[in-house]
Chain A
Amino acid sequence: DSGVTQTPKHLITATGQRVTLRCSPRSGDLSVYWYQQSLDQGLQFLIQYYNGEERAKGNILERFSAQQFPDLHSELNLSSLELGDSALYFCASSVMGASTDTQYFGPGTRLTVL
């Protein structure tokens, strides 16, 4: 158990809908990362937050947004969902968000778009 929690574990929804994925980092970690894992794209970095501020951006679509709240939990919002958005979404956390930090991953949320 990494100490990173993600809810829900599974999510099934329809095209065009909007969903919110939630992540709670390990106690004491200030930085949160979001990743998408799919069969065709592999593990893709989406976005990183540090202490409430956006730190780095990866391959995140405009239909997706995220934020980190004062209590350090984070939410990833996915809107206008398409079939291709079906994937495993992982959250990770690290102490300071530095390049040398080890990232600790949550168990993931499996999103299925029908």
Chain B
Amino acid sequence: AQSVAQPEDQVNVAEGNPLTVKCTYSVSGNPYLFWYVQYPNRGLQFLLKYITGDNLVKGSYGFEAEFNKSQTSFHLKKPSALVSDSALYFCAVRALYSSASKIIFGSGTRLSIRP
């Protein structure tokens, strides 16, 4: 069975500091990993995804994520946080069992950036 874990409900960072939002996954076979962000009263917005290739994936708004197969992790990072990055972040995993594979979302991490 596939699963994804976001161990931190909330992450607090000062503006200008680097940020990391953690995600670990469990899946049989090759994982396809995604990060989405949700602003208040809005739908989820796609940030980035890892399918194959370079372990460091660059996405929208200056975010990047590093795929680590040995640690089964896909942590989201940004070198310098902005107050506007404050939102709810979801990690998701999907595995290619078949074309009917399902996407599983983590429980979400609330990122709070203080000025």
Contacts and interface: CB of A to CB of B under 8 A. Distances in A.
Contacts of B45: 2, 105
A98 B99 contact: yes
Interface residues of A, number: 24
Contact of A99 (B95, B106, B107, B108): B95
Nearest to B103: A45
A42 interface: yes
Interface in B33-53: 34, 36, 42-46, 49, 51
B102 A56 contact: yes
Interface string A42-70: 11110010000001101000000000000
18 contacts: A2-B43, A4-B43, A42-B106, A43-B44, A90-B43, A90-B44, A92-B44, A98-B99, A99-B94, A100-B32, A100-B49, A103-B34, A105-B43, A105-B44, A106-B43, A107-B42, A108-B42, A108-B43
Interface of B: 32, 34, 36, 42-46, 49, 51, 90, 94-96, 99-108
